[in-house]
Amino acid sequence: MSRTFDFIVIGAGSGGVAAARRAASHGARVAIIEQARVGGTCVLRGCVPKKLLMYASRHGAALAEASDFGWQWPAAPEFSMSHWARAKATETARLEQLYRQLLADSGVELVPGRARLEAGGEIVVGQQHLQGPHILLATGASADHSLIPGAEQAAGSDEVLDLQRLPGRLTILGGGYIAVEFASILAGLGCAASMRYRGDLPLRGFDPDIRRRIATSLQQQGIALHAGALPQQVTRRADGWQLHVGTGSETTDYLMVALGRRPNTAGLGLERVGLELTAGGAVPVDAQLQTAVRGLYAVGDITHRKDLTPVAVAEGRWLADRLFAASERPPPSLQHVPTAVFSLTPAASVGLAEGECPPGTAVYESDFRPMRLAFGTSRERCYLKLLASPVDRKVLGIHMHGNDAPEIIQSLAMAVTAGLSKDDFDRTMALHPSTAEEFVLMGKPKRYLC
């Protein structure tokens, strides 16, 4: 016997929980199916634990900076990964419990188990059968280790975040968000890190000045960068890994793969309902987040468009409002999504990168030594960039590499979303002394794009 709901959500991660709770708040009868812990990637093995590890690393760097300002310790400080692992487990357990409570308080029924779609749209979870007019796929994505032969058994970010002890030498394959963040964080915790990636610079898709500066600051942290040098094969050894690169080879204690993520669609039964995937294995959706199958929707990483938590959450809520509150609000725009890379010196961006702007775009820049480091010898710089339209001086993009970049760019994302111009920035009073004031004090353009 099938139980009937108004809305059935598969996956209790960022997008699924947001959609389920919002739908229930509109009076819908909602079930959410989860095969593992409640909370999903962001809370349990992504944004949150990653940032907690970033703080561990950042605190170490801050100790060194503090000594330049007069603080002294009797002995050199040491980092304990097992201490961090215990504290992280406690915090993620607290957050999972919070998510469970929020679902219960909203009246959403949590159905534990792995969901499978049957022909006709019925959902099977173990012995249970569920059906309803609206089904949401929100099963996220997982690390893809299939690119390099032999790398299937290597660690991904999930395994690194579960380590009890840090490796001595570590090689990271990839040059995207995860690779850059983990290389910087782990180097800050004392690992001898190296990175191997396909392109000439890390962070494809980011503004070229940010990419160059990130590469420099990773090198200043002591990370060896091997551009255009992914191994063609890797081999597990008793004491670590062997990487076969070109005609040579090298060894490392620990191998981490960060070569992108693949949507979690295996075993979902999508073929039974006639749903075809993209070449990259994602579920295609239209602007209304509707798949090609009537009544079947998808949000978040399973659609593999902008794999960021706020996007999954905004899409989940928007869909629930449309389906159960007759909202006619347009879907969340993916045009001005702010984003950050949480390396020890972080980078953040909103809007267009230089290569996406039209000819004549004015490029404003500021590059300085942060006051925080005035007494030390660190070579860290702070870089700010603003791109303004040649037509109406509208701000097209803002990019920053420097401490507090994620916090500053989040605020400036409002200015870009609102369509403010360089003149609006010019008439904004500065807050002194701050890093962010440089964004309203940029005098003349450094150059114009050809």
Ligand X SMILES: Cc1cc2nc3c(=O)[nH]c(=O)nc-3n(C[C@H](O)[C@H](O)[C@H](O)COP(=O)(O)OP(=O)(O)OC[C@H]3O[C@@H](n4cnc5c(N)ncnc54)[C@H](O)[C@@H]3O)c2cc1C
Known binding-site positions for FAD? 51, 301
Residues numbered 100 to 119 that lie near ligand X (CB under 6 A) are 114-115
157 is an interface residue for ligand X by CB under 6 A = yes
Residue type, 316: G
Stretch that binds ligand X, among 4-12, 99-107, 193-201, 205-213 (CB under 6 A): 4-12
Minimal distance, residue 167 CB to ligand X, in Å: 17
Residue 300 binding ligand X, by CB under 6 A: yes
Q: Contacting ligand NAD (CB under 6 A), which of 340, 347, 350, 352? A: 340
Q: What is the CA radius of gyration of the chain?
A: 24
Residue 338 interface partner, choices ligand NAD, ligand X, none, CB cut-off 5-8 Å depending on type: none
Query: Is 432 designated active site?
Result: yes
Of 25-64, binders to ligand X (CB under 6 A) are 33-36, 40-42, 46-47, 50
Binding site partner of 204, from ligand X, ligand NAD, none, Cβ cut-off 5-8 A by kind: ligand NAD
Cβ nearer to ligand X, comparing 177 with 241: 177
36 binds, among ligand NAD, ligand X, none (CB under 5 to 8 A by kind): ligand X
433 cis-preceded (ω within 30 degrees of 0): yes
CA 322, 326, 330, 336 dihedral sign is: negative
Q: Which is nearer to ligand X, 207 or 307 (CB)?
A: 307
How far apart, in whole angstroms, are the C-alpha atoms of residue 217 and residue 170? 18
For ligand X, the nearest residue by Cβ is: 13
User: Contact region for ligand NAD (CB under 6 A) — 18-26, 259-267, 372-380, 411-419?
Assistant: 259-267
Contacts made by residues 265-269, CB under 8 angstroms, sequence distance 24+: 265/139, 265/302, 267/114, 267/116, 268/10, 268/115, 268/116, 268/117, 268/137, 268/139, 269/116, 269/117, 269/118
187: left (phi over 0), alpha (psi -120 to 50) or beta: alpha
Closer residue to ligand X (CB): 341 or 442: 341
Phi-psi region of 77 (alpha: psi -120 to 50; beta: other; left: phi over 0): beta
Asked if 382 is part of the footprint of ligand NAD (rule: CB under 6 A), the reply reads: no
Q: Is 410 in the site for ligand X (CB under 6 A)?
A: no
| CA 44, 50, 51, 52 torsion-angle sign | positive
Which partner from the list ligand NAD, ligand X, none does 341 bind, CB cut-off 5 to 8 Å by kind? ligand NAD
Is residue 176 within the footprint of ligand NAD (CB under 6 A)?
Answer: yes
- Out of 5, 7, 15, 221, the residue judged to bind ligand X by CB under 6 A: 15
Binding-site residue positions for NAD(+): 174-181, 260
Binding test (CB under 6 A) with ligand NAD, winner from 8, 214, 225, 258: 258
148, 187, 191, 308: residue in contact with ligand X (rule CB under 6 A): 308
- Site size with ligand X, rule: CB under 6 A: 35
Provide the minimum distance between the beta carbon of 86 and ligand X in the complex, in angstroms, as a whole number.
20
Q: Which of 307, 321, 354, 380 binds ligand X (CB under 6 A)?
A: 307
User: How many residues form the binding site for ligand NAD (CB under 6 A)?
Assistant: 23
260 binds ligand NAD (CB under 6 A): yes
Q: Please give the residue ranges that form the binding site for ligand X (CB under 6 A).
A: 10-16, 33-36, 40-42, 46-47, 50, 114-115, 138-140, 157, 178, 264, 268, 300-302, 307-310, 312, 342
Q: Please give the residue ranges that form the binding site for ligand NAD (CB under 6 A).
A: 147, 174-179, 181, 197-199, 204, 230, 258-261, 307-308, 339-342
Q: What residues act catalytically?
A: 432
